[in-house]
Amino acid sequence: MSLQVPLMIVHGGAWSIPNEMEQDHIRGTYKAIAQVYPELLSGEIDAEEAVVRAISILENDETFDAGKGSFLNLKGQVEMDASIMNGTTMKCGAVCAIQNVRNPIRIAQRVMNQTEHVLLVGENALEFAKSTCKSEEEHKELFVESVEQLLTTRELEFLESIRNNEEFTSRTVFESKIDSHPPPSKKGTVGCVALDLNGNICAGTSTGGTPKKCKFSRNSIKKFNKLKVPGRSGDTGIVGSGTYADSSVGGASSTGWGESIMKIQMTGTVVKWLEFHNTPTLPKTASIYSHLNFESSSNIQHDAAQKTNMNKEQVAIETIIEYLDQKVNGLGGLIFLSKEGKYAVSHNTDKMSFAFVPHDTINKETGHFEVVSIVSRKKGC
Ligand code: ASP
C-alpha cells in the first residue's frame, strides 16, 4: 500500500470496562482523533505533535486514568508516568512519578527534545519542567496550582473503598468479574500512534498508574498495606515497555498490568520482532484474543476463523499478547501502526477502548475522514 495519507490510532485502556462506562470511552477516544486528525491530514502538524495533542486531550478527560482523573496512591496523591518516542530520530523522552502537571506527555516531549536524557523522575522532573517554561501563561497551562486540581471525588472514594481490602492488588483492576470487587472507578491509560505525510511514526502513552502499585508481603512495610505505594511506576514511562516507535517498522503503545508488561518489554519487543522477522507466523497453539479486521471501516469484526487471513502486524500483536499471558500471567492490550499504514490491536483483558481513522474513509482533497471508536471485547466476553 503506498502511503498517501497520514493515519492515527489512540487507546483508552484495556480492562473490564463496565457496560455503563463504554460510551464515555467511545466518546473520549473519538474526540481525541476528531480534534487532531484534520491538522495531521493537512500536514500542519507532524506525527509527534499529533501524538502530544491527542494524548493531552485524553489526559484532560476525567474518563481516563491519566492527568485529571488518575488513580491515587496511598497518600492520596496523583503520581503520573508518560513516555514518547519519535521513530525517525529515535529520540525518546519520559517522566515517572511526576505530580502537579496537567499533561505529563508534554513534559515527556520536553525531556525528549530539550535534554540529552530519556527519563526524569519525581520532584526533579517537575523542577525540570518548570525550568522550560518561558512565560506565565505557559506555566499556567502546564501546571496545576494545587494537588486538588487533579483529584476527583470519584478517586478519593475509590481509594477509601479499597484501602483495607487485602484481596485487591494492582492486577485486580485488569481482571474479569470487576463486579465482585469494590465499585469500579473509571480508568484506562491512554496512548496514541501516528504516521504523518512524511512517513514519520511517533508513539506515546500516559497514565496515572494503578490504584495498588505494589503488593508487599504481610511482614514488610505494613503501613502501606499493599496499596498503591507512593513512588511506584509501571510500564507507561518506560520506553520499550509502554511506548516504542521506529519509522522503518511501526509504533506501539501498551496498556494493562504494568508489572507484567515491563517483564516482557512489550512494545519494544513487538516492533523489533517485526523488524527482525519480517514474516512472523502465529504459533499453532496460540489463542486469538481479539482479532479485528482493519481493512475496511465497515468490516470490523472479531473472528478467530480469519486466523489465516491476518496480516503480519496482527499476527505479531496477537503473539505478543499470547506471550504476555503465558510467560508472566500478564494482562493488557496493545495498539500498533506500521509504516505501511496497517493497524493492529489485541488485548487479553475483557475489553479495550480504542479509536482510529480507517484508510478507506480519508479524502485528502476534501478533508473528509471518519473515526471508528469502539470498545472491543475479548472473545466470549
Ligand atoms: N500500564 C499502566 C501501569 O501499570 C496502567 C494501565 O495501563 O492501565 O501503570
Supply the pLDDT for residue 309: 59
**Residue 210 marked in a binding site:** no
For the CA of 208, the closest atom of ligand 1 is 9
The tens digit of pLDDT for each residue in 85-118 reads 999 999 999 999 999 999 999 999 999 999 999 9
Lowest mean per-residue pLDDT among 8-17, 116-125, 284-293, 322-331: 284-293
The pick from 98, 236, 263, 335 for probing ligand 1's pocket by mutation, whose C-beta has the most ligand atoms within 8 angstroms, reads: 236
Query: Given this model, what pLDDT does residue 294 score?
Result: 57
Does residue 69 have a known ligand-binding role?
Answer: no
pTM: 0.87
Binning pLDDT at 50, 70 and 90, where does residue 307 land?
Answer: very low
> Which residues partner with 252 through β-bridges?
244, 336
Which pLDDT score is estimated for 270? 95
Residue 42 scores a pLDDT above 90: yes
| Long-range pairs, 267-272, Cβ under 8 A, ≥24 | 267/203, 267/240, 267/241, 267/242, 267/243, 267/334, 268/239, 268/240, 268/241, 268/244, 269/240, 269/320, 269/323, 270/244, 270/316, 270/317, 270/320, 270/334, 270/336, 271/244, 271/245, 271/246, 271/336
pLDDT at res. 29: 96
Alpha-carbon Rg for the chain, nearest whole angstrom, is 19
State the average pLDDT over residues 226-254.
Answer: 89
Pocket of ligand 1 (CB under 6 A): 13, 65, 189, 207, 209-210, 234-236, 255-256, 258
Closest atom of ligand 1 relative to the 188 alpha carbon: 8
User: pLDDT higher for 163 or 374?
Assistant: 374
What pLDDT band is residue 157 in, cutting at 50, 70 and 90?
A: confident
> What is the arithmetic mean of pLDDT over 12-40?
94
- Would the annotation count 246 as a binding residue? no
Mean pLDDT of 278-301: 53
Q: Measured from the CA of 257, which atom of ligand 1 is nearest? A: 4
> Which of 173, 235, 324 for a ligand 1 pocket mutation test, highest count of atoms within 8 Å of Cβ?
235
CA 91 to ligand 1 center in whole angstroms: 23
- Assess whether pLDDT exceeds 60 at residue 186: no
Report the pLDDT value the prediction gives residue 73, as an integer from 0 to 100: 73
| Pocket mutation for ligand 1, best pick of 210, 259, 335, 350 (most atoms within 8 Å of C-beta) | 210
H-state helical runs in the chain: 19-42, 47-59, 104-114, 122-131, 136-142, 153-162, 258-264, 266-276, 312-328
Residue 215 confidence (pLDDT) above 90: no
Ligand-binding site membership of 256 (annotated)? yes
* pLDDT value at residue 178: 52
Per residue in 49-87, pLDDT (tens digit) is 999 999 999 999 988 988 876 777 777 778 899 999 999
Counting Cα atoms < 13 Å in the Cβ hemisphere of 216 gives 14
Q: What is the rounded distance in angstroms from the CA atom of residue 34 to the CA atom of residue 44?
A: 15
Ligand 1 centroid–CA 361 distance in Å is 32
Mean pLDDT, range 229-237, rounded to an integer: 86
The pLDDT assigned to 278 comes to 63
Rounded mean pLDDT, 231-240: 93
Residues forming a β-bridge with 254: 334
Is the pLDDT at 187 greater than 80, yes or no? no
Average model confidence (pLDDT) across the chain: 84
112-126, 160-174, 297-311: least confident range: 297-311
Reply yes or no on whether the pLDDT at 158 is more than 80. Answer: no
Of 224 and 381, which is predicted with more confidence?
381
352-370 mean pLDDT: 93
Answer with the residue of higher pLDDT: 66 or 251.
Answer: 251
Q: How confident is the model at residue 310 (pLDDT cuts 50, 70, 90)?
A: confident
CB atoms closer than 10 angstroms to residue 306: 14
Closest C-alpha to 70, from 177, 239, 188: 188
Q: Which of 63, 169, 172, 189 is catalytic?
A: 189
Q: Is 189 a catalytic residue?
A: yes
On the CB side of 188, how many CA atoms lie within 13 Å of its CA? 34
Ligand 1 mean position to 368 CA, how many Å? 34
255 labeled binding residue: yes
What's the rounded mean pLDDT across residues 317-343? 94
Cα dihedral across residues 16, 18, 22, 28: positive or negative? negative
